[in-house]
Amino acid sequence: MTPSPDSTTGLKRAQILQGALEIFLRQGYEGTSMDRVAAAAGVSKITIYKHFEDKEGLFTALIEQVTAQRFNQVFGTISLDDHPDQVLRQIAQKFLALLAVDDEYVAFLRLIIGESGRFPALAQLFIRSLPQKVWRSLGHYFDSHPDLAIAHPDAVARIFTGTLLSYAMTQRIMHGQHIAPMDPDLLIDCLIGLILAPQPTPPENL
Amino acid sequence: MTPSPDSTTGLKRAQILQGALEIFLRQGYEGTSMDRVAAAAGVSKITIYKHFEDKEGLFTALIEQVTAQRFNQVFGTISLDDHPDQVLRQIAQKFLALLAVDDEYVAFLRLIIGESGRFPALAQLFIRSLPQKVWRSLGHYFDSHPDLAIAHPDAVARIFTGTLLSYAMTQRIMHGQHIAPMDPDLLIDCLIGLILAPQPTPPENL
DNA sequence: TCGCAACTATACTATACCGTATAGTAATAT
DNA sequence: ATATTACTATACGGTATAGTATAGTTGCGA
């Protein structure tokens, strides 16, 4: 009998994933060698192959784990009960604040986007795990607040999250913050202002 | 004397870049071998090293070329003289239409984002070559149309382009279009509606 | 004490890589 | 004719890769 099939074994597994995270985030998928992962994890290489099918399996498991665990950090602590202005502001500030600080998350986004051609399922997993949840939550929130007079909640949710994601994209992921700076608070103010302002002429009339 | 130092030599160079494009876009930077590039370009490997310093130099030259040439395709044919609604709509439709069709451009975005950690200068080159130009053009356009009553042209330009870029990001680059579809025309309508609607309470008052 | 499961360390196979070297070809210039 | 330029084809050196094999170690239960 294994000493503790879900704790000792689980520990090695977690240890491997931790080492793999370091290397994959810094070197990318093709740039990562299993020897380096083994060294970073403090584990014999063959142990990795005991726990994971192959390099692709390790990568998949890693992304699945990180994807699942990161959601709460961004969106788990938002209360949808406050004033709309406050709700939107909280989400926006939390997301941008996280990205301003968390280099690991930035590297993670680079990795999953860069490999989305060869690992489409992982990219879709990410979409379902983060942006889609935000789209849905915001959509329902707008739906349940008819006083906001938002004609197309889904589209507005995309505009809101899209602005934030692209800010992260250009400023942090692609190193634009030094060559084209932009005050995040001003952006948030403007974005919320556009969304919550009364819309006298609905988009259908354009 | 070289037969035609800027045409014959230039042809080989272009031929190499064309082959490199194919392979780099499909295999990524680390996944690309110079032998494959040589084969795809129909060129001897050593000829590549006659024209380019090394793998990194070839990659850099490739990204610089594509970055420069793609801008016009998206933004070169826009006239800033029409009605604001038409101007914004043209830009948005052109960008989304291009992305809907051009798999090569999607792969290019994946590549430059994925390698932005190891090639920060290339990412910044891209920022300067496309989004920053759009931000500036839109900013000036808004500035020169005070009747639009846009309090913060820079921020609104970011919201506009950010929405479009993120749409490309989630729908095409990360394969979200099948699991979370969104009508691009509705998104464009909504986005332009928000921006061009009168803003009774400027963002400063929030 | 024995058996067993998980692990380590090292070496291996077979392949692939980058960048260079070598030898040779086609075309032009003098 | 000879030199030069741009190229091709092939092979090589040294390194690195994914994944496996082998031999040995540690710890635990019966």
pLDDT in tens, A74-92: 677 777 788 889 989 999 9
pLDDT at B76: 75
Q: Which nucleotide is nearest to B52 (CA to C1')?
A: C19
CATH 1.10.357 domain position(s) in chain A = 55-201
CATH 1.10.10.60 domain position(s) in chain B = 1-52
Cβ-nearest to B167 among A111, A126, A162: A162
Q: Flag whether pLDDT at B2 surpasses 80.
A: no
Q: What does the pLDDT average to over A33-46? A: 96
Q: What angle do CA B179, B181, B185 make, to 5 degrees?
A: 170
Q: What does the pLDDT average to over A188-192? A: 97
Q: What does the pLDDT average to over A9-30? A: 92
Count CB-CB contacts under 10 A for residue A155: 28
Q: Flag whether pLDDT at A111 surpasses 80.
A: yes
Q: What does the pLDDT average to over B163-172? A: 97
pLDDT tens-place string over residues B13-46: 999 999 999 999 999 999 999 999 999 999 999 9
Q: Flag whether pLDDT at B140 surpasses 50.
A: yes
In CATH, the number for domain B1-52 is 1.10.10.60
Mean pLDDT of chain B: 89
Are the Cβ atoms of B187 and A163 closer than 8 angstroms?
A: no
- Residue B42: Cβ-neighbour burial (10 angstroms; 0-12, 13-18, 19+): exposed
CATH 1.10.357 domain position(s) in chain B = 60-200
pLDDT at B6: 42
CB-based contact, B132 to chain A, within 8 Å: yes
Q: Flag whether pLDDT at B205 surpasses 80.
A: no
CB-based contact, A151 to chain B, within 8 Å: yes
Q: Flag whether pLDDT at B5 surpasses 60.
A: no
> How far out from the chain centre does Cα B35 lie?
28
Q: How confident is the model at residue A202 (pLDDT cuts 50, 70, 90)?
A: very low
Distances (CA, A) of B105 to B9, B53, B78, B200: 27, 25, 19, 40
Mean pLDDT of chain A: 89
Looking at domain A55-201, which of 1.10.357, 3.40.120, 1.10.1200, 1.10.10 is its CATH number? 1.10.357
Tell if A50 CB is < 7 Å from nucleic strand C: yes
Percent of chain B residues past pLDDT 70, beyond the cut: 91
Q: Flag whether pLDDT at B96 surpasses 80.
A: yes
Q: How confident is the model at residue B200 (pLDDT cuts 50, 70, 90)?
A: low
- Cα nearest neighbour of B84 on chain A: A206
Residue with tokens 């063959």: A46
Q: What would be the CATH architecture of the domain defined by B60-200?
A: Orthogonal Bundle (1.10)
User: What dihedral do alpha carbons A59, A60, A61, A65 form, nearest 10°?
Assistant: 100
| pLDDT, greater one: A205 or A83 | A83
Tell if B5 CB is < 7 Å from nucleic strand C: no
pLDDT at A198: 67
pLDDT at A9: 58
Q: CA of A8 vs C1' of D28, distance in Å? A: 13
pLDDT at B159: 98
Q: CA of A194 vs C1' of D10, distance in Å? A: 65
For residues A90-108, one letter each, b for 16 or more C-beta atoms within 10 angstroms of the residue's C-beta and e for the rest, the string is bbbebbbeebeeeeebbbb
Cβ-nearest to A162 among B135, B151, B162: B162
